[in-house]
Amino acid sequence: MREHSIDGIIYSPLTVRPSDAAALEVKFPLVVLGEPIPDAPVPFIAMSNADALRDATTHLLDAGRRSIAFIGSDPAGPVRTAQERLRGYREALDDHGVPFAPERVVPTALWHRAEGAAAARQLLEAGVPVDGIVCCNDALALGAMSALQLAGRTVPDDVAVVGFDDIEESAYSTPALTTVSADFDRTAATAVGVLVAQLEEGAPATPGVLRSRHALVVRASSATRSGREARGGPATGLPSVLGWCLRPRPAPQVGHAVPGSARRWGAR
């Protein structure tokens, strides 16, 4: 670490499993982005994926949709982010007294447009009644919308669609895609703040979880059946995440690890 002039690491893995906890016990400042694991020895910064998908599903339920499908997660899958989003979907259904229907959950191996389109076609070909779809990310949602339209279904009149991530393309699709937006800039600033605090104090940060915020960006893909225009455009006025005050000082050298590097740079 020191020989490469790196003082600390912000680690952003695809997923972290409970079995990885020992690999996070390192002798240098470390902050992890993503779904936390129990008894982790380092601080995690994470949006609540369950809360975000609960909000997205509730948005459709409040608009009168009752046959809502979920694309992108397998209940037995290894990626905890996907599992948490599926949990939020199920909680929203339960909150509104809508029975969970396993046939409306379509797992996908990847979160790409092609998989989203294939999942939507699978629902249609199986004859599963669907009037709304929530997806684990925007790429899946864009693919699903394309397949629905090619099959003669109108979005949102026949099927409303909601994505996740608020990628740039989501504001310019036809129709514009309703999506969940995470405040990545503030999340990154919080991660740097936690890391800098460790460096300044010369002590590890207290293990725990800092929750970042999210916002539902409502666009035309989930407009109500009455035809009332949905709000459009990029997200504005995002709630602030739990932040840290950074005092001016010479900037330490902070490395951004690629997946697997925490294990490689474990304590010696």
| 246 domain-assigned | no
Determine which helix (DSSP H) or strand (DSSP E) holds 182, and give its type and residue range: strand 178-182
Task: Determine which of 64-68, 201-205, 208-212 has the lowest per-residue pLDDT on average.
Answer: 201-205
Averaged pLDDT, 217-234: 65
| CATH at 77 | 3.40.50.2300
Residue 265 clears pLDDT 50, i.e. is over it: no
Closest CA to 159 of 180, 141, 139: 141
Averaged pLDDT, 140-149: 99
Task: Determine which of 14-23, 62-71, 72-81 has the lowest per-residue pLDDT on average.
Answer: 14-23
Q: What is the DSSP string of 197-258?
A: HHHHHTSPPPPEEEEEPEEEE--GGG--TT-PPPP-SS--SPPPPS--PPPP-PPP-EEEEP
| 22 domain-assigned | no
Work out how many domains the chain is built from and give that number. Answer: 1
| 192 domain-assigned | no
Asked if 133 and 141 count as a contact pair (C-beta separation under 8 A), the reply is yes
Residue 132, helix vs strand vs coil: strand
Q: How many Cβ atoms from other residues are within 10 Å of residue 224's Cβ?
A: 15
Enclosing domain of residue 116: 49-182+215-222
Task: Please give the pLDDT value at position 165.
Answer: 95
Residue 169 clears pLDDT 90, i.e. is over it: yes
Dump pLDDT digits (tens) for 242-262. Answer: 233 222 333 334 333 333 333
Average pLDDT, the chain: 81
CA-based angle 94:46:38, to the nearest 5? 80
| 239 domain-assigned | no
Structure tokens at 154: 């109108």
Dump pLDDT digits (tens) for 68-91. Answer: 999 998 666 667 889 999 999 999
Residue 42 clears pLDDT 80, i.e. is over it: yes
| 159 domain-assigned | yes
Task: Determine which of 53-67, 126-140, 186-200 has the lowest per-residue pLDDT on average.
Answer: 186-200
Task: Determine which of 15-29, 144-158, 181-195 has the lowest per-residue pLDDT on average.
Answer: 15-29
Give the whole-number percent of the chain exceeding pLDDT 70.
76
Task: Please give the pLDDT value at position 41.
Answer: 83
| Structure-token match 């002798």, residue found | 27
> Cα dist. 160→64, 75, 104, 135, 194 in Å?
11, 23, 14, 11, 40
Does the predicted TM-score (pTM) go above 0.85?
no
Taking the C-alpha atoms of residue 100 and residue 60, their distance in angstroms, rounded to an integer, is 15
| 38 domain-assigned | no
Give the whole-number percent of the chain exceeding pLDDT 90.
49
Q: How many Cβ atoms from other residues are within 10 Å of residue 245's Cβ?
A: 6
Taking the C-alpha atoms of residue 170 and residue 252, their distance in angstroms, rounded to an integer, is 36
Task: Please give the pLDDT value at position 162.
Answer: 99
| 19 domain-assigned | no
Q: Are strands 178-182 and 214-217 parallel, antiparallel or unpaired?
A: antiparallel
| 65 domain-assigned | yes
